[in-house]
């Protein structure tokens, strides 16, 4: 008998039929004698609908009130799944984040989980009951409802698995595993049987939304056995999905590149003609950081005539705010010539632990993009990834070209 945490995403919970399908899958696992905690998302489209409704009323909705509202999608699906399970004869009980007590900090809209109270869940599990928990939500020390950021149900699932020391955390979604890139963009993308934790962390942080980055961080920190699977496979035809592994498989040669990630959610800002003197990066990025805006890539050009240009990228949602700070505070303060902004850019990245032992990957990547006439605006590298910023209109082309260049469409040898 094992303790298993399963998480079902929005598409998997998208209609009464699909919820019944989830209930049948849960029942099959239960029939094998396992204890089950099931974490669910809102029905697909529901969180977007709620956010749009809030923005219709208030362009910058109050963050606390937004969480009170957008957490309701998951409150609906936990109850529906509990009803479906009871209807097929199982014992089941639903819990909101606050009822479990998923304690978070008070950063509304992107709260972090601090602690999870196991008591209620353990009691139910011991009583042979399927525990159903609302993903994406928690409660802070003052009793305020919080949410964990878009895609946060993944993190709820892994955090519960960590707290309960579950034998496995299964993330059920609308694809049957982690692919070499988003199969919606490249139909030739291949499913990976396994992927190293490090690579998954990079892919998630660089935009592959199959797992929320914080869920992968949690899995790493608490060594949660994590698997991504499809909730759409028929009984008897299920595959093993993709296992996130903590050791590199040394018996097989690692592919140089394991996957291509992309992120549309980017914007670039450039401060033109700033005096080329010590402290200038701090003077520009200090006020940006003070306003809680995360900066991703940074480039300072070689100076000439005593001035230089300074560019950086931010999340597209923060573009307007960052530009305003540059124009109103930084430009007059540092004596810059002008501020330029571009919110039609994207980031495309190649990820692979095999890169460590293979030089020349970057030049291969740059040549492939050049041959398609795609101009690279910014570059950033680490031991296991190379990212470039390109014009958003080239996103799909760049992803397809890189997928082919690194032969990700070919089955591994
Ligand atoms: P859920 O609602 O189940 O949480 P998401 O839409 O958040 O599902 O995540 C699944 C989606 O992630 C897939 O439908 C796919 O389009 C996208 N995706 C992006 N990159 C990848 C990848 N490398 N492998 C698999 N899916 C990916
Ligand atoms: N319902 C939330 C969202 O759409 C959380 C999730 O699906 O993981 O972002
Ligand atoms: Mg998701």
Among 38, 153, 173, 216, which residue has the most ligand 2 atoms within 8 Å of its CB, making it the best to mutate?
153
- Closest ligand 1 atom to the C-alpha of 9? 3
Name the residue range of residue 25's domain.
3-174
- Closest ligand 1 atom to the C-alpha of 180? 23
SS3 call for 63: helix
Q: Kindly state whether residue 102 falls inside one of the protein's structural domains.
A: yes
Helix-then-strand count for the chain, H and E: 14, 18
**CB neighbours of residue 324 within 10 Å:** 12
How many separate domains does the chain show? 2
User: How does pLDDT run across 279-288, given as a tens digit for each residue?
Assistant: 999 999 999 9
Instruction: CATH number of the domain at 133, please.
Output: 3.40.1160.10
Instruction: CATH number of the domain at 329, please.
Output: 3.30.2130.10
Please report the pLDDT score of residue 247 as a whole number.
77
Q: Kindly state whether residue 248 falls inside one of the protein's structural domains.
A: no
Residues 31 and 132 in one domain: yes
- The DSSP secondary-structure symbol of 188 reads T
Distance 173 CA to ligand 3 centre (A): 8
Final residue of a structural domain among 148, 174, 200: 174
CA distance 265 to 96: 30
Final residue of a structural domain among 174, 191, 208: 174
pLDDT averaged over every residue in the chain: 95
Q: Kindly state whether residue 236 falls inside one of the protein's structural domains.
A: no
Tokens read off for 393: 């209109």
Q: Kindly state whether residue 335 falls inside one of the protein's structural domains.
A: yes
List pocket residues of ligand 1, CB cut-off 6 Å.
Answer: 9-12, 41, 151, 173-175, 178-179, 181-182, 184, 208-210, 259
Going by pLDDT thresholds of 50, 70 and 90, the confidence category of residue 249 is low
Residues 281 and 376 in one domain: yes
Full-model pTM: 0.93
Final residue of a structural domain among 174, 197, 213: 174
Q: Kindly state whether residue 239 falls inside one of the protein's structural domains.
A: no
The answer to whether 84 and 20 are in contact (CB under 8 A) is yes
Please report the pLDDT score of residue 81 as a whole number.
98
The residue nearest atom 15 of ligand 1, judged by CA position, is: 182
Distance 136 CA to ligand 2 centre (A): 6
Q: Kindly state whether residue 334 falls inside one of the protein's structural domains.
A: yes
With CA atoms as reference, report the closest residue to 39 among 175, 159, 180. Answer: 159
User: How does pLDDT run across 52-66, given as a tens digit for each residue?
Assistant: 999 999 988 999 999
The residue nearest atom 4 of ligand 2, judged by CA position, is: 47
Q: Kindly state whether residue 46 falls inside one of the protein's structural domains.
A: yes
- Closest ligand, as measured to the CA of 208: 1
User: How does pLDDT run across 135-177, given as a tens digit for each residue?
Assistant: 999 999 999 999 999 999 999 999 999 999 999 999 999 999 9
Q: Kindly state whether residue 16 falls inside one of the protein's structural domains.
A: yes
CA distance 322 to 295: 10
């Amino acid at each position: 008998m094992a303790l298993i945490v399963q998480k079902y995403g929005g598409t998997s919970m998208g209609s009464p039929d699909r919820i019944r399908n989830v209930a049948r899958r849960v029942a099959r696992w239960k029939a094998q004698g396992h204890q089950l905690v099931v974490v669910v998302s809102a029905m697909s489209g529901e969180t977007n609908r709620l956010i749009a409704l809030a923005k219709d009323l208030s362009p910058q909705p109050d963050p606390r009130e937004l969480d009170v509202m957008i957490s309701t999608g998951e409150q609906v699906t936990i109850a529906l799944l509990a009803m479906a399970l009871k209807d097929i004869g199982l014992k089941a009980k639903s819990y909101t984040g606050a009822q479990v007590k998923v304690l978070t900090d008070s950063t509304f809209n992107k709260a972090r989980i601090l602690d999870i109270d196991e008591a209620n869940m353990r009691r139910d599990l011991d009583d042979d009951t399927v525990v159903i928990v609302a993903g994406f939500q928690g409660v802070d020390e003052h009793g305020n409802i919080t949410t964990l950021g878009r895609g946060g149900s993944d993190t709820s699932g892994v955090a519960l698995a960590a707290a309960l020391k579950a034998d496995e955390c299964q993330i059920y979604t609308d694809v049957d595993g982690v692919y070499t890139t988003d199969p919606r963009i490249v139909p030739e993308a291949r499913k990976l049987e396994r992927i190293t934790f490090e690579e998954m962390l990079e892919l998630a942080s660089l935009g592959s939304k199959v797992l929320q980055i914080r869920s992968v961080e949690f899995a790493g920190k608490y060594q949660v056995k994590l698997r991504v699977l499809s909730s759409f496979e028929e009984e008897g035809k299920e595959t093993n999905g993709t296992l996130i592994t903590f050791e590199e498989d040394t018996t097989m040669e690692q592919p140089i590149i394991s996957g291509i990630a992309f992120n549309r959610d980017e914007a670039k800002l450039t401060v033109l003609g700033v005096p080329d003197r010590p402290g200038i990066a701090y003077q520009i990025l200090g006020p940006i950081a003070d306003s809680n805006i995360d900066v991703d890539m940074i480039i300072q050009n070689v100076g000439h005539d005593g001035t230089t240009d300074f560019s950086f990228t931010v999340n597209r949602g923060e573009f307007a705010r960052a530009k305003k700070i540059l124009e109103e505070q930084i430009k007059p303060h540092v004596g810059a010539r002008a501020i330029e902004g571009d919110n039609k850019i994207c980031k495309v990245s190649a990820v692979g632990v095999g890169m460590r032992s293979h030089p020349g990957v970057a030049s291969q990547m740059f040549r492939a993009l050049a041959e398609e006439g795609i101009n690279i605006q910014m570059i950033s590298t680490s031991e296991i990834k190379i990212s470039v910023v390109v014009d958003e209109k080239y996103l799909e082309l760049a992803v397809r070209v890189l997928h082919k260049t690194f032969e990700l469409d070919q089955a591994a040898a």
